[in-house]
Amino acid sequence: MVNPNEDDILERPIPIDEDAAERVQLRIRRTLPGRRIDKYLHGRFPRLSRTALQRLIKQGAITVNGQPSKPSYELLGGDVVDVILPPPEPREVIPENIPIEIVYEDDYLLALNKAAGIICHPARGDQTGTLANALVYYANSLSHGEDPFRPGIVHRLDKNTTGIMLVAKTDEAHWRLSLQFERRTVQKTYLAVVHGNPHLDADTIDAPIGVHPVVREKFAVMVRENKIDLARSAVTRYVVGERYGDYALVQLFPKTGRTHQLRVHMSHIGHPIVGDTMYGGRPISEFDITGSGSVTPLFVHQALHAWRIEFRHPILERPMELEAPFPPPFRTLVTLLRNTRTTRAR
């Protein structure tokens, strides 16, 4: 399926620093039928995607015989191709002094309590403000993995989900931890405050998840047969820990690790997570809970916290169980709900 934004991307020029740009001239020795210029150049400059090369051609940074060309132009013997190449993107994450809360650390791994509002790793070399930037600044060594923009990162949390995350400091620790996640022997427990009062004390949600058919940034449960091939299996077990009338505190145990899985599944059963406006949740304030006090929302994001993780140490082979302290807004929310429940019960 064609990305609806692909045409916009192709029309968007690539910024080129004239001083740092590389200039290359290529002479085509002989004609090869069907040799499009974008494909040919991708073979010569594999660090650039075909889409990037097509954008460079369209903006005139690549010419044939001194004239503008098209990505579909088929090269002929004797053609002279002049190319202005942007400098390579940085392949290392920039260290940044961003505070991180370390829960556990040894020579092979560390565990941290991720804050809300920070993404796990950059999408490109010059992006900053991510957890990876903070880790590169903090740690003397991190595993390399397969992606240079994800040093040490074995698994991820959504930008606004808080809680426990494991980070590998050596390559051996990384692949051994990754194998545990792949085999689903890592046990993760999340806590969430949800809207409504779930009918069951515990249940398992087995509902496949795929990209939302309209909003590409969202995910959805695919319940129609003709959509099932676009979805991936997703299973979540939940247990209601405390009930507060219009809200409940639930423990969530993901059996699979799909993007936005817990948020989508709780919304699917009619109990979206508080503050999760993308999936039907609503921000709530002290006034909403008690009828008095501040009207400022306690959360500007989903009230979801990765509380506990159980795994086997990748090198020392001993069982590990680590917990991440609750962030203040989450603790305040639960305290208010508990106090209100106690007051009503009197």
Catalytic residues: 158
Distance CA 129, CA 306 (A): 21
Q: Where are the alpha helices (DSSP H) in 120-240?
A: 131-138, 171-182
Residue 188's nearest CA partner among 210, 157, 218, 211 is: 157
> What is the torsional sign of CA 272, 274, 280, 285?
positive
Q: What's the distance, CA 11 to chain centroid?
A: 27
Residue 41 — φ and ψ, nearest 5°? Answer: -70, -30
**Cα–Cα distances in Å, from 29 out to 23, 26, 38, 70?**
20, 9, 17, 20
Of the candidates 139, 141, 145, the residue with the CA atom closest to the CA atom of residue 171: 145
8 Å CB contact between 318 and 312? yes
Task: Give CA–CA dist 256/228, Å, rounded.
Answer: 17
- Nearest partner of 130 among 103, 105, 152, judged by Cα: 152
Distance between CA atoms of 240 and 197, rounded to whole angstroms? 9
CA 21, CA 10: separation in Å to the nearest integer? 20
